[in-house]
Amino acid sequence: MIERTLSIVKPDAVAKHGIGKVLARIEEGGLEVVAGRFLRITRAEAEGFYGVHRERPFFNDLCTFMTSGPVFVSVLEGENAIARYREILGATDPAKAAPGTVRALFATDIEKNAAHGSDAPETARIEIGFFFPGCELV
């Protein structure tokens, strides 16, 4: 099934000049970039975006990290894009991420883990709408 998913190249990877490297893996992985924005996330946006994690002990630090520098947010499209992109990213904890994945290559630790990918169709739809409010899924 052709899907769309939301990608965020996080502040740590942007600071390491990793935007192009992540995009290269996306494109080499058979996914297409169909929308993109370079921006600095506000505190309120970070808290809203990661709202499902509000009760987690790492929530406050995560929001501080996500607002610490610019990010590159994009919409990816392709066959099974949601699962495919999470394969390209590797596990949340870079110590557990498969060799060659974005997080194995570029992440610093479980928080500063280089990039975000949506985890399911419904969250992808919500997350895409969060940063690309005019972008209707067809």
Q: Please, which residue, 20 or 60, has the CB nearer to Mg ion?
A: 60
**Catalytic-role residue among 25, 84, 116, 125:** 116
CB of 67 to ligand ADP, least distance (A): 13
CB of 76 to Mg ion, least distance (A): 15
| CB atoms closer than 10 angstroms to residue 8 | 22
Radius of gyration of the chain (CA): 14
Whether 53 is catalytic is: no
**Among 123, 103, 129, 113, CA closest to 11:** 113
What's the burial of 25, exposed, middle or buried (CB within 10 Å: 0-12/13-18/19+)?
Answer: buried
- Distant-in-sequence, close-in-space partners of 26: CB < 8 Å, separation ≥ 6: 7, 33, 74, 76, 85, 88
CB of 59 to ligand ADP, least distance (A): 8
Q: Please, which residue, 68 or 136, has the CB nearer to ligand ADP?
A: 68
Helices 81-89 & 19-28 angle (0-180, nearest 10): 130
Contacts with ligand ADP by CB under 6 A lie at: 53, 58, 62, 92, 110-111, 113, 116, 119
Q: Could you tell which of Mg ion, ligand ADP, none binds residue 33, using a CB distance below 5 to 8 A set by kind?
A: none
Q: Please, which residue, 57 or 138, has the CB nearer to ligand ADP?
A: 57
Q: Which residues are catalytic?
A: 116
